[in-house]
Amino acid sequence: MTPRKSPPALRRHKPSKQGVVTLNGRDHYLGYWPDGQKKAPSDLQAAYDALVAEWLANGRRPTVEAPPPLTIAELILQFWERYATVYYRHTDGTPTSEQENYKLSLRPLRKLFGKLPAAEFSPLKLKAVRQTLIAADVSRGVINQRIGRVKRLFKWAVAEELVGEPVHRALMAVEGLKAGRSEARETDRVEPVPDEHVDAVLPFLPTALSAMVRVQRLTGMRPGEAAQMRGRDLDTTGEVWVYKPARHKTTWRGKERVVLLGPKCREVLRPFLKPDPDAYLFSPWDAREELFATKRAARKTKVQPSQICRRKAKPQRKPAAFYTRHTYASAVARACVKAGVAHWHPNQLRHSRATEVRGAFGLEAAQVVLGHARANVTEVYAERNLTLAARVAAETG
């Protein structure tokens, strides 16, 4: 069958009142065609002539339209679906905290430059994102972490050939904010918490949380490690118990974390051991039941029939299986207010233990207790004991 010599005609599409031409089975709508006008408007005819001329010049084949440039919002979506949700998760499939960190880091980028082509993102635009974080009173260290995640977004995009390598190389030229040399808020150095402040807070915490504080103070565990203790993770056969957290900060590196529990720690833990090895020792559910029991015991008036059981069969909010580091820290903060002591954070207990062990047994012992691979990391946690230096100065200086 010989192909037709004349190009397809321009015709009027009644429902949409537009001029249309069909090329290679695809309809091309070219603009408005008023009612009652038999001849196409001049601008419509010009659009038709240009389209057909291009089609004929291409050998009556459809012209390949260049895809629209990838926007930053689209890049973030691809990064999230193809990488972040796959890579940043625990071995059991649950997301790590880094997923939430990326949400917080990429949100201002999407808000400011979501519609911008990703290939046009530049160092000055990255600094504009950073400035919004400074204006939001985010601390300098956190700002540097979040900007680093934005850079890693573009590093991934380069590896996937979504943007050119010069884009990422240019962003790497933006240095992190230096201490005391920017408008960003500086945070105080994390110091060990005085034992008297810890003891003052314990009566104002639920029994489970009070025990968790004592265990963390005795072992130097991270808050998350203490909160997620289970019977399955404990070896109670020896004189010194062994705790191997199923999850910890360096799980993704394939490293094993071992925490040794001495006699004081064992006595704290014994009342919380449960028949179910998968049950968490320090349970928010148990804390809630303890609160209800305390309120019932303190009640002075008679319980009315309508008040006997007000619990919902299917409540919308239920206690979690274990405390997170955020709920743990919030409970300690409330207890500090009730106790009338300066606010302290659970991670300071780790610093307290490190300083205590370093003073008594040396830096290497503190390194082993904290589970650090390098001693220089331990020095961040363990304050130097200047007693010996003071004695040297007094006797020889």
**Are 363 and 370 within 8 A, CB to CB?**
no
With 0.85 as the threshold, say if the pTM is over it.
Answer: no
Q: Mean pLDDT in the chain?
A: 84
* 1.10.150, 2.30.170, 3.30.2400, 1.10.287: CATH of 72-171: 1.10.150
pLDDT (average), residues 85-104: 90
Q: How confident is the model at residue 311 (pLDDT cuts 50, 70, 90)?
A: low
Going from N- to C-terminal start, the domains of the chain cover: 11-57, 72-171, 195-297+319-381
Exposure of 114 by Cβ count < 10 A (0-12 exposed, 13-18 middle, 19+ buried)? middle
- The tens digit of pLDDT for each residue in 30-65 reads 888 888 888 889 888 999 999 889 888 888 887 766
Task: Give 230's DSSP letter.
Answer: B
pLDDT at 359 over 80: no
**How far is it, in rounded angstroms, from Cα 217 to Cα 346?**
9
| 205 token code pair | 């915490």
**Residue 61 one-letter amino acid:** R
- Cα–Cα distances (Å) from 277 to 11, 91, 272, 273, 290, in that order, read 76, 19, 12, 9, 22
pLDDT (average), residues 53-79: 86
pLDDT (average), residues 205-211: 90
Provide the 3-class DSSP secondary structure of residue 387. Answer: helix
**Residue 92 one-letter amino acid:** D
**How far is it, in rounded angstroms, from Cα 87 to Cα 79?**
11
**Residue 300 one-letter amino acid:** K
pLDDT at 313 over 80: no
- The beta strands (E) that lie in the chain are given as 11-13, 18-23, 26-32, 234-235, 241-243, 259-261
Question: Could you tell me what percent of the chain has a pLDDT over 90?
Answer: 40
pLDDT at 307 over 50: yes
Query: What pLDDT score does 247 carry?
Result: 75
pLDDT at 389 over 60: no
Element (H, E) at 129: helix 123-135
Give the N- to C-terminal CA distance of the chain in Å, as an integer: 109
Q: Which of these, 132, 81, 124, lies nearest to 104 by C-alpha position?
A: 132
**String of b and e for 181-218 (b: at least 16 CB within 10 Å)?**
eeebeeeeeeebbeeebbebbeebbbebbbbbbbbbbb
- Domain 195-297+319-381 in this protein, CATH class: mainly alpha
Task: Give 95's DSSP letter.
Answer: B
Longest dimension (CA), the chain: 111
- The tens digit of pLDDT for each residue in 222-268 reads 898 888 899 898 888 888 888 888 877 666 666 777 888 888 888 99
**In the Cβ-directed half-sphere of 74, how many Cα atoms lie within 13 Å?**
11
Question: Could you tell me what percent of the chain has a pLDDT over 70?
Answer: 82
**Are 177 and 140 within 8 A, CB to CB?**
yes
- The tens digit of pLDDT for each residue in 158-203 reads 999 999 999 999 999 999 999 989 999 998 888 889 999 999 999 9
pLDDT at 383 over 60: no
Q: How confident is the model at residue 120 (pLDDT cuts 50, 70, 90)?
A: very high
pLDDT at 391 over 60: no
Look at 20-24, 203-207, 350-354, 362-366 and tell me which has the smallest mean pLDDT. Answer: 362-366
Provide the 3-class DSSP secondary structure of residue 139. Answer: strand
